[in-house]
Amino acid sequence: MSDEFWDRWFRRRFSPFRSIFEDIEEMFREIENFMAREFEEFPREAPRNLIREKTLPDGTKVREWGPFIYGYTFTIGPDGKPRVREFGNVKPEMRFGRPRISIREEREPLVDVMETDDEVKVIAELPGVEKKDIKLYGTEDTLTISVDTAERKYYKKVELPSAVDAKSAKASYKNGVLEVRLKKKKEPEGEPILL
């Protein structure tokens, strides 16, 4: 969902006569309605590489679409504000002033970013791939994760919360989970200025 949707939803004043669960239930209804409207127009919007023709044993031809993945995580940040992060290859977006669904061939993996005093840790779920297929590219403020195989395609550009030294990165991959640790850049101490 768009940032505008979430901002509107979280700014809404909650009634003292309703529980938080009723508000969450209403949010899910709004999401379901949005997705239902968009999937009505789906066959015209689907990228050609996600549509396959298949012949059944009786000779009938059918079309298969997919895979389509969409999900989100809901956490409370260190500042006490709720954070909603989307993942998958289905993205709601605004096009010509109207909400639409954008479908990409690459899946966006579920990613979590954690920060300590001296490092930033990025954890990404990349099931179904081999370690050799994962490509990482780091800059001072981003980490790009990509996988491009015949079976799976993942892509995510992660904005890092602090400047890091990309050369210090250490990565490990086990059981479909990628962990990348990056040391934070040290702040220059500066030079004393005499008056």
Residue 193 lies inside a defined structural domain of this protein = no
pLDDT at 134 over 80: yes
* pLDDT at site 8: 58
Write out the residue range of the structural domain in which residue 20 sits. 1-105
Q: SS3 string of 52-118?
A: EEEECCCCCEEEEECCCCEEEEEEECCCCCEEEEEEEEEEEEEECCEEEEEEEEEEECCEEEEECCC
Residue 126 lies inside a defined structural domain of this protein = yes
Q: Is the peptide bond before 78 cis (omega within 30 degrees of 0)?
A: no
Cβ proximity of 98 and 34 under 8 Å? no
Cβ proximity of 157 and 144 under 8 Å? yes
- Scanning the structure block, which residue is given the tokens 């579920």? 110
Q: Where among 74, 105, 136 does a domain terminate?
A: 105
Same domain, 70 and 145: no
Q: Where among 70, 105, 140 does a domain terminate?
A: 105
43 versus 138: which is more confidently predicted?
A: 138
Same domain, 75 and 146: no
Same domain, 17 and 68: yes
Same domain, 63 and 148: no
Q: What is the mean pLDDT of residues 62-79?
A: 73
Q: Where among 75, 105, 135 does a domain terminate?
A: 105
Q: What is the CATH number of the domain that holds 172?
A: 2.60.40.790
Q: What is the pLDDT of residues 137-186, one digit of tens each?
A: 999 999 999 999 888 888 999 989 889 998 989 999 999 999 999 999 87
Cβ proximity of 109 and 117 under 8 Å? no
Share of residues in the chain with pLDDT > 90 (%)? 24
Cβ proximity of 65 and 50 under 8 Å? yes
Tally of structural domains, the chain: 2
Cβ proximity of 11 and 70 under 8 Å? no
Interatomic CA distance for residues 160 and 163, integer angstroms: 7
